[in-house]
Structure formats: C-alpha cells, structure tokens
Chains A and B, each alone.
Chain A
Amino acid sequence: MRQVRIHGRGGQGVVTAAEMLARAGFLAGHEAQAIPSFGSERTGAPVVAYCRFADAPLRTREPVLHPDVVLVQDPTLLGPAQPFSGLATHGLVIVNTNADAPTVRAEAGVDDANATVITIPAMSITMTHLGKPKPAAAMLAAYAAATDDITLDAVKQVFRDRFPGRVGEANALAADEAFAYVRAELAGSGGGGGLAAAATRGD
C-alpha cells in the first residue's frame, strides 16, 4: 500500500489534487481512495487531503498517519503544518517552492530527516500555463517524475477528463513542464536543486 498526504491552503485545489491522484493511481491499475480533511472551507486556511493506493480493496477510513509520500503545495506551511510528521522512513517529500532542498529542510526544522526532498517551482509553472494558483497538476507530475507510482500520461488524462477544454490542456502543459523539470533535476544534481531553474523563470 502507498499512502500520500497533501498539504496546501484553501483555494489551491488540495482536495482536487487528492482526487486526481486517486484517479491517476486507478489508471495505473491500483485500487485507490482519496480522503479530504474538511474544515470551514476558508480561502487560505491550511488544508490536508489523503490518498491511498493498494492492490487489494481499500476498506479503512482512517486518515493517513504515516505517509510514504508528502506533497506540500504551499511552502509557507513547512513550519506550521509539520508536513514531515509521521513520514515513513525513506519517505518522499515534494515541495512547491523556488528554494532548494536544504532550505526546505531548514524551514521545516528537519535537517536530519531520513527522507528524500524534491523541490519544484510548481506555482510559477502553473501561473505560466493556467494563470491560476492551483498547482495540483504540476505537483502530481513531479510525483510521477520521481516514482513509478503514477505516470505523466495518467496525470494529464485525469485533468483533461475532469476539466475538458482549455483548463485541462493548460494543466497538461503545466504537468509536462513540471515532469521535465524534476527529471532534469534528478538526472543532474540528484534532486532538489531548484534555485537555478527557478531563477530562469524570471519570478
């Protein structure tokens, strides 16, 4: 079983991200489940959503307590939301930020965490293609680039299915760029470089 936790803020499409991730996982042949954690639904409030994949039917309704993968859609949550809490050993944390992995670790207060940290300027990529601060497609594409859990094609397909037309295409373009970015980072520095590429984006 693979367990994923997504952190973000109200309005950033966190719940949609979890649902799209479940759909992408289903396309990959897994049983899948997405569980949002709802609050008073204020724009900007911290929001968490969960996703599980497995090869057997998923019965539990428990929130994900020990994620294998954590996606952080908003870097200002690194301190207050404690996104590394409960992370499985050798877990993967993907953060939307223009900063690099050591900076992320420092801001989260987990310099010595036994985890892989990947950074991706998902928000600026998304603003370029979509023009709205909803970086879910870019984040899921970064996840696809870093693991074999889901594929880039599945990520693009679920966004095109859910948002037919321009919005779906814009999300697919953001996914393409985010995937290429992470693959280049992993091929180069071993992941999490972030800064240089972000600087070239002019933001």
Chain B
Amino acid sequence: MREVLEGSQAVARTVARCRPGVVCAYPISPQTHIVEALSVMARTGELADCEYVNVESEFSAMSVSIGSSAAGSRTYTATASQGLLYMTEAVFNAAGMGLPIVMTVANRAIGAPINIWNDQSDALALRDSGWLQLYAADNQEAADLHVIAFAVAEELGMPAMVCMDGFVLTHASDVVELAEADEIDAFLPPYRPQQVLDVEHPTTIGTMAGPESFTETKYLQHLRFLDATEVIERWSLKFREAFGREAGCLVSRYDPDTLERDHAAPPAAAEDIAVIGMGSVIGTLQAALAPMQAEGDHVRLIGIQSFRPFPEKALREALGDCRDVLVIDRALELGAGGVLTGNVGRALAGTRSRIHSVIAGLGGRPILEASLRDVIRRTRAGDVGRLEFLDLKEGGVPVPPVGATEVAR
C-alpha cells in the first residue's frame, strides 16, 4: 500500500515486521522518532515477542545489544552522532564478536561546536569498526535496507549499520510502500545464530587474543568483509525479485536519460563526468542533473550504497571508461579531505582518474541543486581543484541573525 509516512515511522514499522527479539536504544536526535515508535509498538503489542529494554546511555544500549545477540536474539538498536561515539568501544566489540546486530544511524554532525543537523561524520568516523555500512538514498530505501541488513548480517555473522541522513530523511514525509509483515516473513529467514551463549554449555566469546593470533583474527575479519560484497549483492537482487523495487546493492546506477535508478544502466563513458554521491544527496543530484541532461551535458550519476565493504570493483565497473570523477562528500577528514573521496581514490588507484572532491552539507547546510550544477559545470571547465567546499562563505564564521536562525538555515 502506497502511503505518506515520516521516514522514521517507515523505518520503525519495517524493523518491527522483521520481528526483532530485543530492541534496546537510548534516544538522541534525529534518531528519537524511530525508537519512540518502536517503544509504542512494543507496548501496544504490534511488536510482539520482543523485549524493549530501556537503558541510561548509548554505551549500555550497545552492551545490552551485544548480550542479547550473543544469547541468540535478533537484536536492533539505533543511534546518531554523539550517541554513536559514546557507544564506540562496544560497537567495535560487537563486530569483533561476530554478532549480527542491526543498527540505524540517523546521520548527524559531531561537535564541537554542538550541531544537531545532518552530515555523515558520525557513521564515517566509525568506518573501521567492523560493521557493514549501508546508506539509504531515500526513505523507501531506508525502510527496505533494514530487511536486507538483517538477512546479510545474519548470514555473515557481522553487524550492520543502516545509515540514513538525519532530519533530511528521518523527519521528512514521503510516499512509501512498506514491505508487509507476511512478505518479510517469506523473505527473511528466521534468525539461526551461529553462536549462542548457553549456561548448559559454557563458552566465552570476545576473549583475549595475543600477538600470536590477533593479526590472523583481523585478517579473517577482513576476508569476511570481502565475502560480504557477494552476500550484499545477492540479497539485494533477491529483494528486487521479491518486492519489485531496487534497494541496497553495492553501488546504484542511474539511467543516463531519466536519471532514475536502474541496475541495468550502462557504465559511464569517456566523455562523461561521473558524479558520485552517498545518501540523500543522490535525490537532489537526480533533480539537479535533469536540466543538464536535457541540455545535452554528459553527466552520469553513481551512488555508493555500501560504504563498508567498499565496492571497489562495482564502482570501477559503473565508471567504465569515465576518468572525470566528482565526489560529493558529506564528511571531512580534517587535514586530509573528504572521507568518501579517499575511498574512491583508493578504488581508482592506477586508473589515471581525475578525482575532484566537494565537501557539501556539513552540519545541515542545505545542498542546493543550483550549487551542484554550478560545481559540475566548473569541473567540466577545469575550474575545480582537488578539494572544494560547496557554498563556502568567505570572510570568517557568519553570525546567524537573531531570532531568524530557522529561516536563515
């Protein structure tokens, strides 16, 4: 049934239909609406056979999630920004223990200065935590990705973050079509944990590994990530066959004419500029590129749907013969450049690609279609260097007008 839903509601309802056994979360903007909705569903019984655990912090939320997943329950949590940082130690441990927890990250900036708005600094700061990281381009995909994430995480024995841009997606209402409970029951296998803590057969997980075995542990964890590329593709394909719409995958391709998502779109060509985005900026790029397409500009759009594992092969295939690449980056490695750009650069090493990086939308700065078109045209003209900040205001830090900050944003 197509309906208008807030992104957070769409995610909460879909998560509930995936039948988690334990939900444990601590509220933080802009994730709050998701866990509030799940707590209501747990109370009303719409989310049945699920224990909703209230805790006093994100560190405890992830610790409880580790315990419940290790005890054999399908486990879900959600967080954002400072909350993700606060649980960081436990986040790494969940991955090292091979526990397939699914966590929504409602992407938000990290302080200081305090900022509650959207960019992708939080999840990308934890890119090395050993979690799968899948990014949603819109609210339909944000909801659908949770179904795929549970399937992929549980097959691999790895935790998965589903990343959706805070406010821009979580608080926006869109027309969506949610997977129904019976459809998800038919699609998502019951959770069969690969390891279960059992008092009758005591074992230890997450134990100490000394210098004699730590390297091999990490090597095998890395190999598991390489396996993940095939598993993500396979479950995404299954999803498309079952539900008739595209979600997930490693990269998303877009039809060169309609700019709609199409896995069968041809790779980019030598005369094209390829614009690479991740998350909700893809939607704005779809709209921004339409008039350029109409004018005969050779611009192609490629989305990164899986940041971990990073889809080096799929990205090179989507780029084809194209060597002019513009990356729209939603997070900044201070002193280095864009986080996504760095990964794109490593994937394209040796291809003689000309990679330009544009840092856009930090801390909730709206990303405007006109600004995107401008930077693409200037890239075509050779006027964009390796690193640029979209819509940067010159002359120091602007002071918002008193009483009008809501509009000035």
Report if A82 contacts B (CB, 8 A): yes
Report if B352 contacts A (CB, 8 A): no
Q: Are A26 and B403 in contact (CB under 8 A)?
A: no
Pick from B185-193, B277-285, B331-339 the stretch touching chain A: B277-285
Q: Are A60 and B173 in contact (CB under 8 A)?
A: no
Report if B135 contacts A (CB, 8 A): no
A142 to B288, CA, bound (A): 33
Q: Collect the chain B residues with CB atoms within 8 Å of residue A15's CB.
A: 171
Question: What 1/0 flags go to A38-53 for Cβ under 8 Å of B?
Answer: 1110000111100000
Q: Which residues of chain B from 104 to 122 have a CB within 8 Å of any chain A CB?
A: 116-117
Q: What is the size category of the interface that chain A forms with chain B?
A: 20 to 34
Q: How far is the CB of A33 from the nearest CB of chain B, in Å?
A: 5
A28 to B132, CA, bound (A): 40
Q: Collect the chain B residues with CB atoms within 8 Å of residue A65's CB.
A: 368
Question: What 1/0 flags go to A1-30 for Cβ under 8 Å of B?
Answer: 000000100000001001100110010000
Cross-chain pairs A/B with CB under 8 angstroms, 28 sampled: A19-B173, A26-B3, A31-B175, A33-B172, A33-B175, A37-B409, A38-B30, A38-B167, A38-B171, A39-B405, A46-B404, A46-B406, A47-B406, A48-B406, A58-B174, A59-B283, A59-B284, A60-B283, A60-B284, A60-B288, A60-B369, A61-B169, A61-B281, A61-B283, A61-B367, A80-B404, A81-B404, A82-B407
Q: Are A48 and B407 in contact (CB under 8 A)?
A: yes
Q: How far is the CB of A17 from the nearest CB of chain B, in Å?
A: 11
Q: Collect the chain A residues with CB atoms within 8 Å of residue B369's CB.
A: 60, 62
Chain A minimum-CB-distance residue to B117: A38
Question: What 1/0 flags go to B375-409 for Cβ under 8 Å of A?
Answer: 00000000000000000000000000001111101
Q: How far is the CB of B110 from the nearest CB of chain A, in Å?
A: 17
A65 to B391, CA, bound (A): 15
Q: How far is the CB of B244 from the nearest CB of chain A, in Å?
A: 15
Q: Collect the chain B residues with CB atoms within 8 Å of residue A36's CB.
A: 167, 171-172
Query: When A and B form their complex, which 6 residue pairs have the shortest distance between CB atoms, in order from nearest?
Result: A60-B287, A34-B173, A59-B286, A59-B283, A46-B406, A23-B4
Q: Collect the chain B residues with CB atoms within 8 Å of residue A22's CB.
A: 4, 173
A7 to B284, CA, bound (A): 23
Q: How far is the CB of B305 from the nearest CB of chain A, in Å?
A: 16
Q: Collect the chain B residues with CB atoms within 8 Å of residue A39's CB.
A: 405-406, 409
B280 interface neighbour in A31, A45, A61, Cβ under 8 Å: A61
Q: Which residues of A contact B (CB under 8 A)?
A: 7, 15, 18-19, 22-23, 26, 31-40, 45-48, 57-63, 65, 80-82
Q: Collect the chain B residues with CB atoms within 8 Å of residue A38's CB.
A: 29-30, 116-117, 167, 171
A18 to B4, CA, bound (A): 12
Q: Collect the chain B residues with CB atoms within 8 Å of residue A19's CB.
A: 4, 6, 173
Q: Are B407 and A81 in contact (CB under 8 A)?
A: yes
Known: A23-B4, A62-B287, A81-B407. A34 touches B175 (CB 8 A): no
Report if B320 contacts A (CB, 8 A): no
Q: Collect the chain B residues with CB atoms within 8 Å of residue A32's CB.
A: 4, 173-175
Chain B minimum-CB-distance residue to A158: B4
Q: Which residues of chain B from 231 to 260 have a CB within 8 Å of any chain A CB?
A: 259
